[in-house]
């Protein structure tokens, strides 16, 4: 066994028997040049290593595979799931993992475990590159479930308060969850095809039962996708419910305002008529308060009549 770090390069490696795992984080042109000299990988694949906008894919060569995968990372500050890319070269006696950031904690943690723990190193690196690759995928795919769980918890919280809290808060929370779901789905969906290829295609240098091992990964991926689909349906239902409640509350407010205006309108009409600058029966020329009292009684009678009418029609 050997654990090494290449001089002046951001490359670490572990060797157990004939298998070596090269771990590269935040690659630069120097690390790419090392891969060029050491393995003679295709230049287009090496360009993809430095690019951060590649879609998940799998390129097959005579002696190795080049695989681009995306895994979700939750951004707590913005409350959104973002993709983190991992590029993998898998050959018979080596496995190279490259990722452009330090946010994939399960991958870094797994590599450190293999560095420190001799028993785990023998277990995971002592069989074949395919067996090691399976366990790397297994760690990264399982990391998706807690992120999916956070979305489910957020949906449950919104569902519990949607009928009680202020509408603007609920609508904003639903919008945040929906945005997160869309981003998560964009990470997982293109990857399903890649995982299914690993399950169904035959790669001799894996030396493992691909259908059994990568079939397990494919099942987990489908389970995550099913969870995202279920969450999407629930969020869409909550959004429709929120829109209905908003519309219903607006209608309730408009109904109350309409009743108030209907009650006030007759009195306003009477007051407007007697506010005109023309002589009217009972006007100011008489100098008597009796007409004013009669006018107020008329207004009150009309208002009471409107209230009784509204009650009989069950408007409120």
Say which residue, 135 or 262, is predicted with more confidence.
135
Cα separation, 277 vs 70, in Å, equals 80
Under a CB-based contact definition with an 8 Å cutoff, are residues 258 and 265 in contact?
Answer: no
Assigned CATH topology for domain 2-247: Beta Polymerase; domain 2 (3.30.460)
Please enumerate in sequence order all residues whose Cβ is within 8 A of that of 101, keeping only pairs 6 or more positions apart, or say none.
25, 26, 84
Strand partners, 95: 21, 90
Averaged over 53-60, what is the pLDDT?
A: 85
Q: Minimal CA–CA distance to 90: which of 149, 31, 135, 51?
A: 135
Say which residue, 5 or 196, is predicted with more confidence.
196
Q: At what angle do helices 129-142 and 118-125 cross, to 10 degrees?
A: 110
Structure tokens at 4: 């090494």
DSSP β-ladder status, 94-99 and 19-25: parallel
Taking only the tens place, the pLDDT of each residue in 227-267 is 999 999 998 888 888 888 778 777 877 877 777 777 777 77
Q: What is the pLDDT, as a whole number, of residue 169?
A: 75
Averaged over 297-306, what is the pLDDT?
A: 76
Question: What pTM, to 2 d.p., does this model score?
Answer: 0.76
Averaged over 82-106, what is the pLDDT?
A: 88
Strand partners, 87: 68, 98
Averaged over 53-77, what is the pLDDT?
A: 87
Taking only the tens place, the pLDDT of each residue in 183-219 is 999 999 888 888 888 888 777 777 767 778 888 888 9
Under a CB-based contact definition with an 8 Å cutoff, are residues 22 and 13 in contact?
Answer: yes
Please tell me whether residue 3 adopts helix, strand or coil conformation: strand
Under a CB-based contact definition with an 8 Å cutoff, are residues 82 and 75 in contact?
Answer: yes
Structure tokens at 264: 């006030």
Q: What is the 3-state secondary structure (H, E, C) of 149-185?
A: HHHHHHHHHHHHHCCCCCHHHHHHHHHHHHHHHHHHH
Taking only the tens place, the pLDDT of each residue in 158-184 is 888 776 665 667 888 888 898 999 999
How distant is the alpha carbon of residue 216 from its chain centre?
Answer: 24
| Extents of the domains making up the chain | 2-247, 248-312
């Amino acid at each position: 066994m050997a654990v090494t770090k290449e001089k002046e390069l951001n490359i670490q490696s572990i060797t157990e028997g004939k298998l070596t795992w090269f771990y590269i984080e935040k690659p630069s042109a120097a690390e790419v040049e090392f891969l060029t000299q050491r393995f003679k990988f295709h230049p287009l694949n090496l360009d993809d290593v430095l690019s951060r906008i590649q879609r998940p894919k799998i390129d097959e060569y005579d002696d190795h595979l080049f695989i681009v995968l995306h895994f979700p990372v939750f951004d707590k500050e913005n409350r959104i799931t973002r993709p983190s890319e991992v590029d993998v070269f898998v050959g018979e006696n080596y496995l190279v993992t490259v990722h452009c950031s330090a946010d994939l904690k399960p991958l870094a943690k797994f590599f450190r475990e293999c560095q420190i723990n001799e028993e785990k190193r023998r277990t995971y690196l002592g069989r074949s590159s395919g067996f090691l690759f399976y366990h790397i995928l297994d760690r990264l795919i399982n990391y998706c479930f807690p992120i999916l769980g956070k979305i489910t918890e957020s949906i449950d919280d919104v569902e519990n308060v949607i009928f009680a809290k202020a509408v603007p808060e609920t609508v904003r929370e639903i919008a945040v969850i929906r945005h997160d779901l869309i981003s998560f789905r964009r990470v997982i969906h293109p990857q399903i095809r890649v995982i299914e290829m690993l399950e169904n295609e035959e790669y001799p240098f894996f030396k493992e039962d691909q259908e059994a091992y990568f079939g397990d990964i494919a099942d987990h991926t489908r389970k995550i996708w099913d969870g995202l689909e279920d969450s999407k349906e629930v969020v869409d239902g909550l959004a429709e419910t929120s829109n209905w409640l908003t519309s219903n509350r607006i209608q309730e407010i408009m109904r109350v305002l309409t009743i108030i205006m209907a009650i006030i309108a007759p009195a306003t009409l009477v007051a407007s008529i007697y506010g005109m600058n023309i002589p009217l029966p009972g006007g100011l020329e008489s100098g008597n308060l009796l007409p004013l009292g009669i006018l107020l009684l008329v207004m009150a009678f009309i208002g009471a009549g409107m209230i009784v009418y509204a009650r009989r029609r069950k408007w409120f």
